Amino acid sequence: MMIRLAILPLLLALNFSMCKRNPTTTTSSEPASSPPAIAGETAGGSPGPGVAGAAPSPKITKTVVDQTAQTIIFCYHRLVDKIRYPGTEITPADFEAQMKQLKDAGITVISMQDLLAWRRGEKNIPPRCAVISFDDGWKSQYEVGWPIMKKFGYPFTMFIYTEGVRGGSLGGGEAITWEQLADMRDNGVDIEAHTATHQDLREGHNIMLAAPGGKRTRTKLTGPAYEQWVRNEVVGSKELLEQRLGIKVNCFAVPFGNYNEHVKELARNAGYEAMFTVYGQPITFTSPLDALGRYAIEANKPKVFVDAVKMIGTSTGGASAVAEVGAANLSTQPADGETIRTALPLIKANLSRVGAIEPGSVQMRVSGLGTVPVSYDPKTGTISYQVTQKLRGNSCTVIVSAKSEGKKVEAHWTFGIDAAAAAAPVSAAAKSTPTPKK
Ligand SMILES: [Zn+2]
């Protein structure tokens, strides 16, 4: 049920963000996938067009979020007046100028948690947004970056690698302290995970191990030794942040963007909802939550910022925009993601949550069939179509569109077809779907 936005970043500049305390290059990670939040009973507090004050019943009103919204996520490192490492530093003046440019461009800076709530269908966000994150945990982020963010009233996220905090095996004099992090937490700053030691998380890659005495050895870990190590990086760092700060951590920035399926699975199982890389691109309603790209902004590549803003600068907000509605809001049948056992389903959806529908405007398209003669009952808001010609293939996508208050709304969803069951003698399939009479 996803919308494909036409904005494909043609050239995804590979932004290698260097992480500071490590001499190596760092790219960031990607977010873990979050459970497809059932856009559910939001009722309270969301600014979305959802019906307010819905009764607490099975017919709870959901927020209908604008699925055409887009967000660019920025990742910054140190803020210093004299740039010595242009790959990870930016001057406070340049940083502040960029924050202002966002405002001037009409881009709303939202919190990471609002972005995720939007993805869960719980909260609406403006059409064009940005999320600001600071990586690694530098003192200058606390002392210089935070005051600038306060000036603009912008929320932001800190991605911390725990051994890099002051006092940790990698935390030097420029590192942020736990006290500073607690201060940020107390003032609403979002603090999230960026591993324990900021290294390549894939098995068999070169890593540095720091012995308790401080001695460091370069090595490659495999098998159980690797598993234990990577678990501490992905899961242990999350638990440490949660315990030291008394917070919930649900985002994971992958150092250097170096991860794989195994790492993703570990992160997912640990409860991360989103994983982040440094391959910047506009985040849409369908961007995979285990690979959300961030734009790493570096002093020597000012164009990255400019290009990122351009990416969403002109693409949405026009009168022709189509508001995408989550299929979950429409009580579709078959449901999004469901696998059915017949090639002749009855397809239904309830548009009553969308708002006032112009009856003549309702359309249904079915993959493999095209536009079908759908029936619409204005009283119940139900649209339905009994498929009469066997659907082919293992899946079927339905697109429903209608006009509501002058605006075009659309919902897409996809269900699977169990080919074996569907091909079986009619009796098996006929339960839910009568065979069409020829
Ligand atoms: Zn980093």
Centre of ligand 1 to C-alpha 2, Å, is: 31
Q: Apex CA 36: angle with CA 30 and CA 38, to 5°?
A: 145
Centre of ligand 1 to C-alpha 103, Å, is: 26
Evaluate whether residue 39 is within a structural domain: no
Centre of ligand 1 to C-alpha 273, Å, is: 19
Centre of ligand 1 to C-alpha 312, Å, is: 25
The token pair that represents 156 in the structure block: 């932001």
Q: What is the 3-state secondary structure (H, E, C) of the chain?
A: CCCCCCCCCCCCCCCCCECCCCCCECCCCCCCCCCCCCCCCCCCCCCCCCCCCCCCCCCCCCCCCCCCCEEEEEEECEECCCCCCCCCEECHHHHHHHHHHHHHCCCEECCHHHHHHHHCCCCCCCCEEEEEEEEECEHHHHHHHHHHHHHHCCCCEEEECHHHCCCCCCCCCCECCHHHHHHHHHCCCEEEECCCCCCCCCCCCEEEEECCCCCEEEEECCHHHHHHHHHHHHHHHHHHHHHHHCCCCCEEECHHHCCCHHHHHHHHHCCCCEEEECCCCCECCCCCCCCEECEECCCCCHHHHHHHHHHHHCCCCCCCCCEECCHHHHCCECCCCCEECCCCCEEEEECCCCCCECHHHCEEEECCCEEECCEEECCCCEEEEECCCCCCCCEEEEEEEEEECCEEEEEEEEEEECHHHHHCCHHHHHCCCCCCCC
Q: What is the mean pLDDT of each successive set of 10 residues along the chain, which is 438 residues long? A: 37 39 40 39 38 44 79 96 92 97 96 97 94 97 98 98 95 95 97 97 93 84 97 98 97 95 97 95 94 92 92 55 68 90 93 81 85 89 92 85 77 85 59 43
Are 304 and 402 part of one and the same domain? Answer: no
Centre of ligand 1 to C-alpha 372, Å, is: 51
| pTM, 2 dp | 0.63
Centre of ligand 1 to C-alpha 161, Å, is: 8
Centre of ligand 1 to C-alpha 155, Å, is: 20
Are 161 and 247 part of one and the same domain? Answer: yes
Total number of domains in the chain: 2
Centre of ligand 1 to C-alpha 396, Å, is: 41
Evaluate whether residue 9 is within a structural domain: no
Alpha-carbon distances of 48 from 32, 44, 63, 377, rounded to whole Å: 25, 10, 6, 26
Centre of ligand 1 to C-alpha 313, Å, is: 27
Evaluate whether residue 438 is within a structural domain: no
Bridge-based pairing state of the strands 190-193 and 206-210: unpaired
Choosing from 249, 279, 313, the residue where a domain stops is 313
Are 247 and 306 part of one and the same domain? Answer: yes
Written as one letter, the residue type at 196 is A
Are 253 and 329 part of one and the same domain? Answer: no
Alpha-carbon gap, residue 347 to 368, rounded angstroms? 14
Centre of ligand 1 to C-alpha 19, Å, is: 4
Are 253 and 104 part of one and the same domain? Answer: yes
Centre of ligand 1 to C-alpha 29, Å, is: 8
Q: Which of 111, 30, 6, 1 is nearest to 288 (CA)?
A: 30
Centre of ligand 1 to C-alpha 330, Å, is: 41
Burial of 345-381, coded b for 16+ CB within 10 Å and e otherwise, reads bebbbbbbbbbebeeeebbbbbeebeebebebeeeeb
Centre of ligand 1 to C-alpha 8, Å, is: 26
Residue 276 near residue 254, CB atoms below 8 Å: yes
Centre of ligand 1 to C-alpha 77, Å, is: 8
Are 119 and 255 part of one and the same domain? Answer: yes
Are 155 and 302 part of one and the same domain? Answer: yes
Alpha-carbon gap, residue 55 to 423, rounded angstroms? 43
Are 375 and 297 part of one and the same domain? Answer: no
Which CATH number fits the domain that encloses residue 279?
3.20.20.370
Centre of ligand 1 to C-alpha 28, Å, is: 6
Choosing from 278, 313, 348, the residue where a domain stops is 313
**354 torsion bin: left (phi>0), alpha (psi -120 to 50), beta (else):** alpha
Residue 160: domain span: 70-313
Alpha-carbon gap, residue 316 to 323, rounded angstroms? 11
Are 222 and 145 part of one and the same domain? Answer: yes
Q: What pLDDT does 22 receive?
A: 43
Centre of ligand 1 to C-alpha 253, Å, is: 8
Are 343 and 274 part of one and the same domain? Answer: no
Q: What pLDDT does 98 receive?
A: 97
User: Who's near 408: CB < 8 A, 6+ residues apart?
Assistant: 322, 323, 401, 402
Choosing from 288, 313, 338, the residue where a domain stops is 313
Centre of ligand 1 to C-alpha 26, Å, is: 5
Evaluate whether residue 425 is within a structural domain: yes
Are 373 and 255 part of one and the same domain? Answer: no
The token pair that represents 203 in the structure block: 């098995």
Evaluate whether residue 52 is within a structural domain: no
Evaluate whether residue 89 is within a structural domain: yes
Q: What pLDDT does 273 receive?
A: 97
Centre of ligand 1 to C-alpha 120, Å, is: 27
